[in-house]
Amino acid sequence: MKKITILIMSLTVFVGGCNFFDKNEKQVTVNADSESNSNPNSSLTATAKVIGSKNESYGNSYFQEEDNGVMMTLALTGLPSGTKGIHIHTVGKCEAPTFESAGGHFNPTKKEHGKLNPKGYHLGDLPNLEIGEDGVVDLTFLAEGITLQKNMENSLFDEDGSALVIHEAADDYKTDPSGNSGARIACGVIQ
């Protein structure tokens, strides 16, 4: 009797597990189909491994081409808490500890810095990160006006590439050239 009960419980768990995987598989398939139908360039993707000033890993950022920009997903851990400025910079180089090798902000339209600046904004200007005490960033947003398509205007993949840089302080969204966001504390080459 015990063997039959154990067998029935095992089959229940197995069948339930199969249903779980089938549901997820269908969901992924539906999402993949809807993305490929809505934007033929949605298959253009990139990543950036984000490192700190001592070459410690903070995680990854993911980039996907959309109709009016690039969807960015940040999956980061271990960052210092607080509000931090984040920008795309003009050079795909992240030399610790200062990351000055990443150059200035990505600004192919030759504007001033900041969404609140009447003369702005750089295409590399991004929304501030609000990082909790746990140091985790799990965020997705659209960076408008840029592209992952090589040899195109406003492409992140020009001759010297580009990088994602996180700063020590909040971006005030108006002060040129960098929003008073302070030193560069993390960087990831977009590849």
pLDDT in tens, 96-153: 999 999 999 998 988 988 888 888 788 999 999 999 999 999 999 999 999 999 989 8
Amino acid at 48: A
pLDDT > 80? residue 24: no
Annotated catalytic residue within 67, 158, 167, 172: 167
Q: Predicted confidence band at 5 (pLDDT cuts at 50, 70, 90)? A: very low
Annotated active-site residue 89? The verdict is yes
DSSP state letter for 128: P
User: What is the pLDDT, as a whole number, of residue 41?
Assistant: 52
- Which strands make up the sheet holding 86-89, listed edge to edge? 86-89, 163-167, 184-189, 45-52, 57-66, 69-76, 137-144
- Among residues 87, 134, 160, 172, which one is catalytic? 87
Four-point Cα dihedral 10, 13, 19, 23, nearest 10: -150
Supply the pTM of this predicted model: 0.77
Q: Is residue 172 among the annotated active site residues?
A: no
Could you tell me which residues are beta bridge partners of residue 48?
Answer: 61
Q: How many CB atoms lie within 10 A of CB 85?
A: 25
87 in active site: yes
Please write the tens of the pLDDT for every residue from 40-59: 555 899 999 999 999 999 99
Query: Which amino acid would we find at residue 149?
Result: Q
Which residue of the set 22, 33, 105, 171 is catalytic?
105
Catalytic one of 89, 138, 158, 171: 89
* Annotation says 167 is catalytic: yes
- One of 122, 134, 172, 176 is an active-site residue; which one? 122
Catalytic-residue membership of 122: yes
Which range, of 6-15, 24-33, 171-180, averages the lowest pLDDT? 24-33
Active site residue 125: yes
